Amino acid sequence: MMTDFATLKYETSGGKAYITLNRPDRLNAIDDRMPSDIRNAVAAANDDDDVRVIILQGAGKAFCAGYDLKKFAEGDLDGKWNQGPVWDPIKDFRGMKQNTDGFTLWRSLKPTICKVQGHAVAGGSDIALSCDMLIMADDARIGYPPARVWGCPTTAMWVYRLGAQRAKRMLLTGDTIDGVTAADWGLALESVPPDELDAAVEALADRIAGVPLNQLAMQKMMINQAYDNMGLQGTQVLATLFDGITRHSPEGRWFKDFAERDGFHAAVQYRDSGRKIPDGGGPLPESDTPSR
């Protein structure tokens, strides 16, 4: 069975549902349609009694490069992600909460496996870490670079996956780590050579697919409720509010001014280089880009 979505492909075979993010020309970056497409594809898999396990993957050379923010950072005439001098936090929260809720893989009744090649960064790491298990290529990279400025991971899964110390290591630097390190830290279940990634995911999915649906749902709910008891949902609310604040803080406006002047990619390159981002904003660095 195959079903059409705007931003992904959905198909089923052998007790498995395959959700494939399908914007390879944009490294499967998240646009306005993708969260609802993911939510609807997960619902389709949960409604199909022939499906036992869901595999989430990305078409092309990357899993997901995060939100497709270039046009918003450089202009955002509609005020979707940066509203101007007067910020409505609930408008911002409502939009981001809808997106976070769209990444419903953690709360899917059926188990979810994320296959990561290339990059799973920023919002792409939010999606990946919402899956029950990650299998990564050794050379894949995962992280949340916007933790340096202009972002907070709304699914808040880092601390639940890594514990406080390593979550702080990631979110206080914005660094990315490779699949080997992610598996060593327990962020990923397994890391394998890139040419063995497909086979490793299929082997795990086939093993899960032999278990009755009732057993799968009960085991997953039992484990997940422990995380809910530790405050996962409340943490996600706080993280989603903080994400909006980061885009409207003095430093967030500094980053947006940088992107509007020199382009989003130049601003990201500066952010990820490790160079100092001034408290309270401050003057922009000297431009390396000719005025446009």
By residue count, the chain amounts to 292
Which DSSP state fits 67?
Answer: B
Confidence of residue 287 (pLDDT cuts 50, 70, 90): confident
Q: Is residue 125 part of a domain?
A: yes
188 class by beta-carbon count within 10 Å (0-12 exposed, 13-18 middle, 19+ buried): buried
Q: How far apart are CA 2 and CA 273, in angstroms?
A: 42
Token readout for 265 is 């990619």
Q: Which two tokens stand for residue 7?
A: 């931003």
Domain-embedded: residue 28: yes
Domain contains 283: no
pLDDT score at 103: 86
Query: What's the pLDDT score for residue 104?
Result: 83
Mean pLDDT (whole number) for 109-138: 98
Question: In the predicted model, what is the mean pLDDT of residues 56-67?
Answer: 97
What was the pLDDT predicted at 281? 86
Would 44 be classed as within a structural domain? yes
What is residue 134's three-state secondary structure? strand
Q: How confident is the model at residue 77 (pLDDT cuts 50, 70, 90)?
A: low
pLDDT at residue number 70: 75
Is residue 288 in a domain? no
pLDDT given for residue 102 in this prediction = 83
For the domain that residue 114 is a member of, what is the CATH number?
3.90.226.10
pLDDT at position 159 is 97
User: Minimum mean pLDDT among 121-125, 237-241, 271-275, 278-282: which range?
Assistant: 278-282
Structural domain for 158, as ranges: 2-248
Rounded to an integer, what distance in angstroms lies between the CA atom of residue 45 and that of residue 104?
12
Residue 147 has pLDDT above 70, yes or no: yes
What is the phi-psi region of residue 223: left when phi exceeds 0, alpha when psi lies from -120 to 50, beta otherwise? alpha
Query: What percentage of the chain reaches a pLDDT higher than 70?
Result: 93
Look at residue 82 in the predicted model and tell me its pLDDT.
62
Category of 118 on φ-ψ map: left (φ > 0), alpha (ψ -120 to 50) or beta: left
Is residue 261 domain-resident? Answer: no
- Of residues 200 and 98, the one with the higher pLDDT is 200
Does residue 91 sit within a domain?
yes
Average pLDDT, the chain: 93
Q: Of 236, 217, 184, nearest to 53 (Cα)?
A: 217
Which pLDDT does position 84 carry in this prediction?
A: 66
| pLDDT over 60 (residue 292) | no
Q: How far apart are CA 115 and CA 183, in angstroms?
A: 13
Q: Quick one: pLDDT at residue 8?
A: 98
pLDDT of res. 142:
98
Task: Point out the least confidently predicted range of 12-21, 37-46, 68-77, 255-264.
Answer: 68-77
Question: What ranges in 18-172 are assigned the alpha helix state H?
Answer: 34-47, 70-74, 89-102, 123-129, 157-162, 164-171
Residue 270 lies in a domain: no
Which range is least confidently modeled, 28-32, 76-80, 106-110, 217-221?
76-80
Is the model's pLDDT at 271 over the cut of 90? yes
**Cβ neighbours of residue 124 closer than 8 Å, sequence gap 6 or more:** 28, 29, 30, 62, 63, 64, 65, 66
Q: Domains in the chain: how many in total? A: 1
Q: What is the pTM of this model?
A: 0.93
pLDDT band, very low/low/confident/very high, at 208 (cuts 50, 70, 90):
very high
Angle at which helices 213-229 and 232-246 cross, to 10°: 60
| Neighbouring C-beta atoms of residue 115, cutoff 10 Å | 27
pLDDT band for position 69 (cuts 50, 70, 90): confident
- pLDDT for residue 206: 98
